[in-house]
Every structure is written in structure tokens, then in C-alpha cells.
Amino acid sequence: MEKKDLNEIEKEMKLANEGLPEKERILFSDARPSRVEPLNKYLEQFVNWARARSLWLLAFGTGCGATELRPLMTSRFDVSRFGIAGRPTPRQASVFIIGGYASIKTIKRIVRSYEQMQGPKYVIALGSCTINGGMYYDSYNTINRIDYYIPVDTYIAGCMPRPEALIAGFNRLKEKIQKGECDGMNKYADNFDWYKKNQKQIIKDWNMPDYNW
Amino acid sequence: MKNILKRLNEKIDDLVVVKQRDDLYFIKVKREHTDFILRYLKLDENFKHLDFMQAVDYIENNQFQLTYMLYNYEIKINLGINVMIDREKAEMDSMHRIWPHLWQYQREIHEMYGINFPGSPRVDESFVLEGWEEMPPMRRDFDTLEYSKRTFYPRPGRSTNDPKEYMKEKLYHDFAKSPKIRRDDE
Amino acid sequence: MDIIIRILYAVISILVATVWGLTLTGIVRKIYARVHGRFGPPVWQPFLDIIQTHSRRVAISHGYMFFLGPVFRFAGGLGTYLFIPVILGSTVFGNFSMGGDVLLVMYFIFFGQLGMALGAGEGGHPYSPMGIARGLSQMSAFEVPFSLAIISVAIQYHSLNITTIVQAQQGSILNWTLFTNPLAVIAAMISLLGMNGHAPFSIVMAPQEIPIGPPIEMNGSFLGILQTNRGLFAAAKLILFMNLFFGGAAHPNILVALLIMMIKTFFIYMFSVFVGASFPRFRPEQSFRFFLKWPTAIGILAILYIAYL
């Protein structure tokens, strides 16, 4: 009797992957993201110290704000002196920069890339569009608040923010990481259903697994 | 250019020509003449390059205006072909046999304005809006603000200022009064 | 008891080589940054990166071979390093040098890549087979001049033992292979450019061409192992070159000998950094053709020079 209940709970915990064709469902994972607790206090502090000094950006320009990332890499605003480097694959990156407005087509890719990143992962939302829609607040295709779809650690306001503002944002993120306040990965796992509901509300043709591990 | 228009006038009657600049002309043609005129301009008059194709919603006249923008590399003149089509029964002949890359423009216009192009390849595939369920968004009777409020969780506390007044007050207050630098427009 | 001490020595030796290799990588990054007119990351940045990758909370694996790929790669690095005597005559840093170890080392240089190819192939990302194909073909290309140079050196010293080769170069700077067999050194140094993967031959790992190459699916600790191996492997390669061509490191005082080793490897590395900072990148087929043309010809000349003159 008790065992059956457990099975039912397990079944409920699995993701339906309804967007995929029937025969492809077994090819994809149906597991939810799970909460991963931090290490013990001092070890976590040490590890956070290293994480804050080695931030790997996901090189995915999601909007016009991506143009502001180029000058950061070159000699004028060299961010590599803070240990920040670009990484072309989400598997290795730890910081995701949402560069300005995100259209519906892009938010689908943003969610996918964000879920493929290995935690702990941090999100910097860049520009006014990510905060309240900015100048595109009345557009049919630009989402207004990015934090309804993925958890955000730091916002940088402006349209566009200058590279100096971005560096200030990175420093803010570093401070937060070192204090251990950036826990977006666990936040996403805890509120997974809410995020998924919001995402599915705007992404009408959901043709990917529910959780892209 | 005059010669071209003269020759064109011999082929088709009641041609409306608007000269915008020395190197930019627009002609208004009927829907059934479009195919012939585009072919003629491309093959005989050397308008070999199609810059773009665009649609405009004239909701007051209950019409869509389609514009094919052509370019001639020899005389360096842009020529726009305007075609008015009915808004209720929005349909246009596909021109992708003249310029093969037109299929992409037609696909976009089909998605954004809901104008149908029978026979155009892949015209039903979604271009930018994936899984769009409402009325085509670039039609002018589509209320984008209402849609955005309904869909995208607007953040409360948003306020708007007139940019000119606001900047004068906030940033350039002293600058405008300064005696050394006076701008001409004040 | 003897074996425990040997293991202890090996661990010390590996640690020193890894730390030195990673520091060298950091210094080289800094030099590149200065060439670009930037400040560049701190010298200890590779260590921070390794701590960061090892401390990821989750890691995605794609199967057994995916697990084994980085392990093979690291084993390749360890194997390369453990059969090279770092310091001539030292018990701690002599490692497991023995007769014929040149062949073993050459095998291990290739072994890591092969294991990595199997592992990365299971990742399933289309870019990793592309990176592997490019990496393995470039590797086969630069192995040709390298092998010819080694054959030439082996003929010259009548030995396949690195210790013997280093021994024969002692006494004076003019005894170095650099001066006794310059053609072989030229061929080998050109193939070192390909081995280090700096600019003209950086197509395999180039982030702009095919994102990051073979390790594209590697994440968390997998990547951490690969990075550790990169430090160790860089040190092993440079020490091998130092031993074969630049007289090795020999001094009664072990610290002085280590210092000699560090200075020599630093300057050998600088050769590929200078070339890398000043040249643009080859396309894959250009780089394969390059290795099979001039360096190979020089390598053959080196053998002829040693065998018949």
C-alpha cells in the first residue's frame, strides 16, 4: 500500500514532456531539477571566493546589449583582469548575461541555455528592457520582466548601460557571490512549477523537453 | 529614367509616377500588371536587384500597400513598385519566380500582416513569431499595448517623461543658461 | 618500503610539475594580454579556474566513455611526465626514467588524445567530433617532424634513453643537441608550435571556429581534470624538449637544478609564445600541409646529416 503511494508520487514528480512527439519522449530526461545544498560553511566560503574570481560568461548575445560585451573583452575595458572570460558553451559557463530585450523566440533559447548551464549559475540582466520592458514595454514580442522566467541575481539599468556600468554590475555580482547570496539555481529548482507555468504561457510552440538538463 | 518611364507608359496605361528624389521614384501599378512589370523591368530595363519587399497597412482605405524596391546598377536609380491590394481578402501573387529570395520576404509578410501568397515556398512556416495565435501583429487594428499588458506581467511604477523637457530640467539646466555656449535654435 | 618512497617521490614530482605548468600558463596569458595592450588576468588565474570548475554543484555525464575521456587524458599526461627525468641524477625528480623511455613518452603524448577522442565523442555534440578530427589530424601531422627529430637524436647518441641523452650533453653548452644537431632541433621546435596549440596552429581549440573543440560537452570536474592535465602536460612537453635538445637540468643542489629547469622551460615556451603572438591562425588544411612540408624535409635532412656526416 505504502509502496504504491510512493510510486504515484514518483510518477507525479516526473515531467510529462508533452511538447515532444510520443516516440521521442523516452530519449529525453523526465527528471526535475533538484535542490543541491551548499557545502559546509568554511569550505563554501572558500569555494565562493574562487567562484567570484573566475566568472565564465556564456557567449550568447540575446539582444542589442550584446554589443556592449565586445568592448569589455578588448584592451580598453579589459575584464579578464577580474578573471572574467567568455565560454562558448553553456555547459562550462557560470554567468549568463541577458543582453537587453528578449523576444519570445529568444526567451525559448534563453531558457534552454540557462537550464543547460551547470550550477551554481548566475544571471545578470542588462538594460532597462529586462527590468520593465524599457522602450519596448508595449511591444507584442518583447517580454517585460525577465525574472518571471529565470531567476536574476543582478540588474544593470540603462539603455544601453556603458561598459563601466557593466563592470560595476560584475563587481556587485562578485560581492553577492562572496556573501553566498546568489542561489539562483536552487531558487529555480524550488519554484520550478511557477517558472515553467510562466514560460509555457508565452512560448506557445513548446517543442523541447520540459527541463533541458 | 524619363525614357524608361516613357517606354513603360507605352506598355501599360494609367501609370502613376511619384518622383521622390533624383534617384528615387515610385510607380503605382495594378495588381494584375505587377508580374508583367517586374519581369519587364528586370529583363529589359536592367533593374536586376531587388532591395526589399515591404507591406504597409492603410486601414483607412481598407487596403494593403505592397512595395517592391528595385535597383538599377547602371543608372543607379531606386524604383519602388507600389501595389494596392484589398485588405479584407488579403492575397497577392507570389513573385518568387522572378527573384528567388522573395520567398523569405513573403514568408515574413505573411506572418506579420497575414497577407497570403499562394504558391510561395514555405510561406506557412513561422518566421519570427513561433507559435503565434493572435491576429497578425503588424496590422494596425492589433492593440500591442493591450496584448503586452495581458501577456508579459508589466512591472508597476512605470512613468514617462517628455524627453526634451526632462533633459533640459535634469541635465542641461546650467548648460542652456550658460552665456558662453549658445545654440542657434534657442 | 622502497615502493612507498618511490610513490611519495612521484607525487612530489607531479605536484611540482603541475604547479609549474599552471604558473607558466598564467604567465603566458599575462604576456599575451600585454601584447594585446591589456592588463590580463592575474598569474594565479588557472588555479582559481580549476577550483571553480571542481566546485560546480552538478555535473552532466553522457556515459562510461565520457567519464573515462578526461581520465585517459590525465593518464596520458601523467604517463608522459613520469618517464621523463626532470633533473639528471636526482632521486625525487628522476622519475621512472629507463631504457627506451623516449618511445614510451612519444606513445603517451598520443595516448591522451585518443582517450579524449573516445570520451568526447560520446558527448554527442556535433562540434566535438569536428574538434577531434582536426586535433587528431594536426597531431598526426606534427608527429612526423617530431619523430624524425627524435630518430635523428637517437642515432646521434646511440640511445633511446632520455637519461643517457642528457648525460651526453653535459660539460659544456656546446655539447647541447642545439649545437651538435641543429637541424633536428629546428624540426622539433616547429612541431612544438603545433603541440602547444598557440596561434598559427590553434584551430583545434579555437573558441571562434568550433566552440572550444573536443571538450565542448565537458563540464564541472571533467573540465577541471582536463585543465589540470593541461598544466602537467605543458610542463612535461617542455621538460622533454629541455632534456632532448637543451642539455637538461643538472646540478648537485636540487633547488638550483629546479631553477635551471624553470628558466630553460620558460624560454622554450617563450619561443612558441613569440610565434603565437605575432602570427594569425592557419586553417586546418594549411596547418597539416605546413607540417608535412618544411619541418618534415628538415627532419629528414637532420637524419641524413647525423647518419652520413
d(CA A114, CA A203): 15
- Tell me the nearest-neighbour CA distance from A71 into chain C, angstroms: 12
Q: Which residue, among A131, A140, A146, would best test binding to B if mutated, counting the most B CBs under 10 Å from its CB?
A: A140
> In Å, how far are C117, C151, C209 from C110, measured between CA atoms?
11, 17, 24
Please give the pLDDT value at position B186: 47
Chain C residues with CB under 8 Å of A39 CB are 55
Burial of C226 (0-12, 13-18, 19+ CB in 10 A): buried
pLDDT tens-digit profile of B16-53? 889 988 889 999 988 888 898 999 999 988 899 999 99
d(CA A101, CA A130): 6
d(CA A108, CA C305): 64
> How far from chain centre, in Å, is Cα C245?
15
Q: Find the domain containing C258 and state its range.
A: 2-308
- Number of structural domains (chain C) is 1
> In Å, how far are A173, C155, C168 from C180, measured between CA atoms?
57, 12, 11
ipTM above 0.90, yes or no: no
Structural domains in chain B, CATH included, are 2-127 (3.30.460.80)
B16-21 sheet: strands from edge to edge: B16-21, B24-29, B77-86, B63-72, B49-58
Q: Within 10 A of C106 (CB to CB), how many other CB atoms are there?
A: 16
The CATH classification number of A39-202 equals 3.40.50.12280
Chain A residues with CB under 8 Å of C53 CB are 92
pLDDT tens-digit profile of B68-83? 999 999 999 999 999 9
Q: Could you check whether the bond before residue A120 is cis, i.e. omega within 30 degrees of 0?
A: yes
Chain A residues with CB under 8 Å of C70 CB are none
| Contact predicate C221/C59, CB 8 Å | yes
Closest partner CB to A53 (pick from C48, C55, C57) = C48
pLDDT value at A103 more than 70 = yes
Domain ranges of chain A: 39-202
Interchain contact A152–B (C-beta under 8 A): no
Chain C residues with CB under 8 Å of A87 CB are 207, 212
Residue-by-residue DSSP string for B13-26: SS-EEEEEETTEEE
Nearest to B51 by CA among B68, B63, B26: B68
- Tell me the nearest-neighbour CA distance from C50 into chain A, angstroms: 9
* Paired residues of B55 in beta bridges: B66
Contact between chains at A141 and B126 (C-beta distance less than 8 A): no
What tens-digit pLDDT sequence spans chain C (309 residues)?
788 998 999 999 999 999 999 999 999 999 999 998 889 899 999 999 999 999 888 888 888 888 888 888 899 999 889 999 988 888 888 888 888 888 898 888 888 888 888 888 888 888 888 888 888 888 889 999 999 999 999 999 998 999 989 989 988 888 898 999 999 999 999 999 988 888 888 887 776 666 777 888 888 888 899 999 999 999 999 999 999 999 888 888 889 999 999 999 999 999 999 999 888 888 888 888 999 999 999 999 999 998 887
Please give the pLDDT value at position B4: 85
Nearest to A124 by CA among A186, A76, A62: A62
Chain A residues with CB under 8 Å of C40 CB are 78, 80-81
- The whole-chain average pLDDT of chain C stands at 88
- Tell me the nearest-neighbour CA distance from A78 into chain B, angstroms: 30
Query: Phi/psi at C300 (nearest 5 deg)?
Result: -65, -40
Chain A residues with CB under 8 Å of C55 CB are 39, 47, 50-51
pLDDT tens-digit profile of A27-77? 887 888 888 888 888 999 999 999 999 999 888 888 888 888 888 888 888
Please give the pLDDT value at position B57: 92
Nearest to A174 by CA among A79, A105, A40, A68: A79
- Tell me the nearest-neighbour CA distance from A121 into chain C, angstroms: 9
Helix/strand/coil for B71: strand
Say what the pTM is: 0.86
Contact between chains at A36 and C57 (C-beta distance less than 8 A): yes
Residues 122-141 of B with CB under 8 A from A: 126, 128-134, 137
| Contact predicate B93/B107, CB 8 Å | no
Question: Helices (H), strands (E): how many in chain A?
Answer: 8, 5
Please give the pLDDT value at position A65: 83
Please give the pLDDT value at position B13: 76
Please give the pLDDT value at position C93: 84
Chains that touch A (3 or more CB pairs under 8 A): B, C
- Tell me the nearest-neighbour CA distance from A88 into chain C, angstroms: 5
Band of residue A1 on the pLDDT scale cut at 50, 70, 90:
very low
